[in-house]
Amino acid sequence: MEILAFGVQADEKPLIERAFGDHEDVRCLDVFLNEDTAPIAAGHEIVSTSVNAELGAEVLEILAAGGTRMVAQRSTGFNNVDLATAERLGMTVARVSHYSPYSVAEFAWALAMAVNRRIVRASIRTRDFDFRLDGLMGRDLHGRTAGVLGTGKIGEAFARIAHGFGMRLLGWDVAENPACAELGMRYVPKDELLTRSDLITLHVPLMAETRHLIDAAALKAMRDDAILINSSRGGLIDTAALVGELRAGRFSGVGLDVYEAEAGLFFLDKSLQAVEDDTLARLVTFPNVLVTSHQAYYTEDAVGQIVDTTVRNVLDYRAGRRSENVLVPRS
């Protein structure tokens, strides 16, 4: 039977078709799964969804009514899935529990370097043959302090990069990572990390406990010249509070690959439409802010691993097997 894959990017499509080729028939759609597009899945037992799919109760009800019995999400995060409703409906839900941590860590470091050294502003100037250096001064990161919030696989990979650049390391997590400790990372309370770090990067999952982990108070605790990087989930930062601090002239640089209201915006072309999100519109106007469109994971290596794991999740479902990727088991 045919699998329906929602939210497939052009670069991703051949990888999906090749990976599924010997096992399952798959049809790729570039539209994202939401309440309006869910009826398309009628008659498909298995659907595969992208990171920004809306899998709340209403969408799951529509999918179940159309015969869908499995959702294979092509992402690690699952804050967008109503797991209780899926279980009630007897739907299996699986995710990709891990993929290349280097893809996200390297991109987070690239954001940090870009905002620190004003790369985007410099590129725009030179396109206009403006070769002045005014306003382009950055800082050496060597010898400064990187604060890593979340020291799992991605946080560890980022810490290794920062260590290679000669930075001191502070960490915060519910459990210490021995590999990070071997790099010289010192684990401290969150408040201490915020006040002592020159560069702060977020690598924690979005849950009820971590929503607005960086809230108004946390932002005020940070150094005025700090660099803040988020390549994890947009909801980790109170964006309205961040805009308020930026308006006050704070922070040397902010790099965001995610945004808490990105659903319905990211991965889409909105260039010919009026921007209705006033917070995002204001955010991108700051000269010390760089916003990218949730692309940190988007390397051939990581996407290849995501697709391969998705195929295995589907084959496991067919065979009645359960793995670490299953969030709601087959009933």
The backbone region for 214, taken as left when phi is positive above 0, alpha when psi lies in -120 to 50, beta otherwise, is beta
Length of the chain equals 331
The residue from 95, 118, 203, 294 that is catalytic is: 294
Does 262 participate in catalysis according to the annotation?
A: yes
**Contact yes or no for 210/237 (Cβ under 8 A):** no
Strands of the 92-94 sheet, one edge to the other: 25-28, 2-5, 46-49, 70-73, 92-94, 326-328
CA end-to-end distance (rounded Å), the chain: 20
Coil vs helix vs strand at 130: coil
Structure tokens at 71: 């959702």
Reply yes or no on whether 233 is catalytic.
Answer: yes
Q: Residues 233, 245, 250, 312: which is the catalytic one? A: 233
Residue 55, helix vs strand vs coil? strand
Query: Number of helices (H) and strands (E), helices first, in the chain?
Result: 12, 13
Q: How far is CA 237 from the centre of its chain?
A: 13
Helices (H), 72-207: 83-88, 101-116, 119-127, 153-164, 178-182, 190-196
Q: Residue 285 corresponds to which tokens in the numbers above?
A: 């106007």
* Residue 223 is a catalytic residue: no
Nearest partner of 158 among 232, 106, 97, 227, judged by Cα: 106
* Of 190, 202, 193, nearest in space to 255 by CA: 202
Catalytic annotation, residues? 233, 262, 294
